[in-house]
Amino acid sequence: MVYLDYAASTPVSKEALHVFQQLSRDCYGNASSLHDAGGKANEILTYSRQSLAKLLDGESDGVFFTSGGTESNILAIHSIMNGLPAHKQHIVTTKMEHPSVHYAVNALTHRGVKVTIIEPNEEGIITKDILEEALLPETGLVSIQHANSETGIIQPLAELAPLLKKRHVFFHTDAVQTFGKIRVSLKELGVDAISISSHKVYAPKGAGAVYMSTEVPWKPLYTGAVQESGFRPGTVNVPCIGAFVAASEQTILQLEEQHKLDCQLRDYFIQQLKKQQLPVRTLHDNGKRRMLPHIIGCFFEGFEGQYVMLACNKHGICISTGSACASGYHHPSPAVKALHLSDRDALQFIRISFGRMTSKDDIDQLLHTFMNLQKETEGE
């Protein structure tokens, strides 16, 4: 099998699996228990919190562990809005966000929170002017993803942050797709809250985290919880969190090397598309955008993305038509439509994403499948 869907999920690394197995076997106590077994689990949790905070350029008391990226986004947004006064109940987010962000803001509307959904410019970028136009005196929170999981387009958060600081508006970002791929620093980005997930960095599914600045006056979504300083109820999954942090440490150490490899694979893929004269256009063809190199959004002329994906799957190649969390819905992706494309073009969208084990041979097999698809069209 050729796996080219790393943006959806990554395989568990040997190191992360080893940590998970070891902690499951030797550190099975409840971290909230007062006996020695609980204390041992709590020590692992404390180390994990400190390590992850360091990787995010923050403080350990700002880290709250969750079950994954979706819960991280929902809890971060609700907790921040819960802590804001009545005159700051307006949230701004974008059309391209992960579905979990839209779940969160839609739920907030039922309790009277005003929501504004903004669209990017034709390059897929939220500019300072676009954001400023959406801000109101009652705006309390802005949530903008660091980079889109479907298109790979990176948002200029550091350029937007000063505007929000000036207006005393809190800034949350979904960094699930960027953590471990490019540098994610609380201080450099200028954000107040960050969401991340374990299964994007070669760790088991089931863990995630929210980093919340100590300046944020958050209040929990679930009242009465004692775990994670009240941020989230439920027994803390120490083995999964330990594996998450071990994988994160390893991924960050390899970040520059992997980034270079991703760029080489991307360039090779685009060069071969042109060399073989395949009717495939990529979002990377536009040099005005800053993009993640491991995600390539493509449009295969003459075929809907779903057909291309199924044809690749038939040949043992895994690609995507967009966000896996929205699979099963056969309509243009909001993130792709936000690029001001027609429904026809948006439905042709496919996503290829590289990872630690991707090779040029994998790319060649994909290109060969593309060539066969082209021949089908020419033969009609």
Rounded CA separation 306/352 (Å): 13
Reference 136, options 96, 171, 87; nearest CA is 87
Helix (H) or strand (E) holding 157: helix 157-166
The angle subtended at Cα 267 by Cα 264 and Cα 272, nearest 5°, is 125
Residue 168: C-alpha distances to residues 86, 129, 215 (Å): 15, 17, 11
- Whether 27 is catalytic is no
Helix (H) or strand (E) holding 166: helix 157-166
Backbone torsions φ then ψ of 180, nearest 5 degrees: 90, -5
Active-site residue identified among 27, 263, 298, 325:
325
CB 144 within 8 A of CB 176: no
Radius of gyration of the chain (CA): 21
Reference 327, options 150, 206, 203; nearest CA is 150
Active site members: 325
